[in-house]
Structure 1
Amino acid sequence: MNNCFIIPIYNHHDTIKLTVQQLLPFGYSIIIADDGSNIATKQVLAELAAQYSQVNIITLAQNSGKGVAMCTAIQYAYQQGFSHGLQIDADGQHDVNDVPLFWQKATQYPEALISGAPLYDSSMPLGRKIGREITHFWVRIETLSWQIKDSMLGFRVYPLHSSNAIIQRYSIGQRMDFDTDIMVRLFWHDIPVHFISTKVIYPLGGRSNFNMLRDNWLITKMHTRLFFGMLCRVPKLLTRQQRVKYES
């Protein structure tokens, strides 16, 4: 395995340095996709790239959305010869202490998508909690399965070959609809999904780039596309379910 980290970022100049410093000891390249951030963030990123040879910056000309940043970074990482990329947020939400568990699981199941199953504390906003439950409901329908424990957490290891193929084949969600969209489509294409329970926090004073109106509308449209995409895959999905039951 040839591993790397992938970090999409938009205006998190106050947290990205600590995130990078926590990842450096693993010895893997760190690919940061700058989604048209402000000057303060660009300055911090330039300093990190100058200070650490492991850090590579991909710069998008304008803010285009998390999905665009992730698709760009996944394609870049694959072209650079990496086999697996661990996506992690720039804002300190994810528990870096669990990173070794993700790499161990990816080594055990190199063809699989390894994703975090979030354990939230009381800092999680109620609106986000309700939104996640709605998405969980629709993902179960879109996959005809209960296998996907969570599809929204951006803390996961991508098998880059199959992920790049999905990006090339489909128009994946460009903003906060990305994480669910690509996971469901990987599942449709028989990529196994394994989960690791991990603590997720909403830091006090933290800044979220989730736009309630725009992103919820995009997620609604995404579920509509996925639902109709599921209909033509019903026989295949049901056959997969029977196979999973038989193997278990």
Structure 2
Amino acid sequence: MTCIPIVIPSLNPDEKLIALISRLMIHMGKVEQPIILVNDGSARKYDTIFSKIRTQFKVTVLQHDVNLGKGRAIKTAINYIMKHMPMAIGMITIDSDGQHTVDDMMKCTDKFLEKPKNLILGTRLFDNNVPFRSKFGNILTAKCTQMTIGVKVTDTQTGLRVIPKQYFDILLNMIGERFEFEMNMILEAATYGIEITEVPIKTIYIADNRSSHFRVIHDSISIYALFIKYIFGAIGSFLIDIVVFAVMMVLLSTVSTWAVFIAAIISRLTSSIANYYINKSIVFKNNNRLSFVNYYLLVVTQLIVSTLLVIFLQHYLAKLNVVIIKIAVDSLLFIISYQIQKNVVFKRG
């Protein structure tokens, strides 16, 4: 029989968790699927909820003594499955707050059985009935994900997923312990040859989604951490470029064309080396030996493309200031360069 355990990360749950497991148990009468509940350091006053579940249902309950985050809870479940359920072909994650139905879970499972090597996402429709906080956050994240890394996913924060077995080892070592882990799971999928399949599901928000433990500012920063570090790395390199250029102009003590040219070359070389090591060690954390060569091939290519595009656009958009054209072109190339560095230059094997 196909084994696909159901994993429920839970923090400070209410009776909706019991109702969810009850519905899952009714479903279990038809298909046997182990249920793994991860208590992610819930407060002591919620012990009665977990005691009821242990008493009433055949459920494996894993315990974190303190709150470690949803990402860590999923990793704990993956580790348990790998050790105790080697026949599992994947795992299902479902939220504990009643936002996902068993029918939708089965739709995702059926799709997974058709495509057992894919990461299946139960994606919600964000219409006018969705709370503004959730709607805005999801749409913004989806658009940023598509723009920055080229991954088009309708609902990047969905907790209803079916994860293939071949992704388990990778996820155990993936960066992210809280909500950013679910985002990283999507961002890194293509890197490891994991295709993503979306399955439309119902959009359910209870009491304006107040039960969500998503911290808008803190967790959003965590989700966008990689791109934020990339931006700050670029800013730091820009400042290095300016400082070195200024120092060189002082040392050369002239403003001749050759002095400006030499200062520009040295400053750009210095800043690009700094940017390479920032991206290699801090942003993408990759030790690929070819990354240095690939990085400078990208730098040269980007410089040539930028120059040609500015000349071309200046010819057809003569009324626009060339500086504005340069800013627009380099902004576009900045995002494209991020994708190339992440997926080619510093790609993890």
Find out whether 1:199 has 2:205 as its counterpart. no
**Structure 1 residues 225 and 33, CA, compared in 2 at 3 Å: closer, same or farther?**
farther
Amino acid in structure 2 at the alignment position of 1:185: E
**Cα pair 1:177 1:219 within 8 Å, conserved:** yes
Q: What's the counterpart of residue 139 of structure 1?
A: 145
Q: What's the counterpart of residue 49 of structure 1?
A: 54
Counting matched residue pairs gives 232
Q: What's the counterpart of residue 93 of structure 1?
A: 99
Q: Which deviates the most, 24-33 or 114-123?
A: 114-123
Q: Which has the higher helix share?
A: 2
Q: What's the counterpart of residue 241 of structure 1?
A: none
Find out whether 1:70 has 2:179 as its counterpart. no
Deviation at 1:209, TM superposition (A): 0.9
CA RMSD in angstroms comes to 2.2
Give the match's secondary structure for 1:102.
Answer: helix
**Structure 1 residues 3 and 120, CA, compared in 2 at 3 Å: closer, same or farther?**
same
**Cα pair 1:4 1:84 within 8 Å, conserved:** yes
**Cα pair 1:166 1:186 within 8 Å, conserved:** no
Give the match's secondary structure for 1:15.
Answer: helix
Residue of 115, 126, 129 corresponding to 2:132: 126
Give the match's secondary structure for 2:79.
Answer: helix
* In 1, Cα distance between equivalents of 2:97 and 2:115: 28
Asked which structure has the greater CA Rg, the reply is 2
* In 1, Cα distance between equivalents of 2:230 and 2:174: 12
* Structure 1 gaps, min length 5: 237-248
Which structure ranks higher in relative contact order (CA pairs < 8 Å, sequence separation ≥ 6)?
A: 1
Q: What's the counterpart of residue 4 of structure 1?
A: 5
Give the match's secondary structure for 2:15.
Answer: coil
**Cα pair 2:69 2:178 within 8 Å, conserved:** yes
Q: What's the counterpart of residue 151 of structure 1?
A: 156
Amino acid in structure 2 at the alignment position of 1:183: I
**Structure 1 residues 197 and 49, CA, compared in 2 at 3 Å: closer, same or farther?**
same
Q: What's the counterpart of residue 179 of structure 1?
A: 182
TM-score (norm 1): 0.84
**Structure 1 residues 138 and 156, CA, compared in 2 at 3 Å: closer, same or farther?**
same
* In 2, Cα distance between equivalents of 1:21 and 1:68: 25
Q: What's the counterpart of residue 123 of structure 2?
A: 117
Q: What's the counterpart of residue 14 of structure 2?
A: 13
Amino acid in structure 1 at the alignment position of 2:46: T
TM-score (norm 2): 0.61
Q: Which has the higher strand share?
A: 1
Deviation at 1:235, TM superposition (A): 4.6
Deviation at 1:40, TM superposition (A): 3.6
Give the match's secondary structure for 2:224.
Answer: helix
**Cα pair 1:78 1:161 within 8 Å, conserved:** no
Identity of aligned residues (%): 24
**Cα pair 2:179 2:219 within 8 Å, conserved:** yes
**Cα pair 2:75 2:172 within 8 Å, conserved:** no
Amino acid in structure 1 at the alignment position of 2:8: I
Q: What's the counterpart of residue 243 of structure 1?
A: none
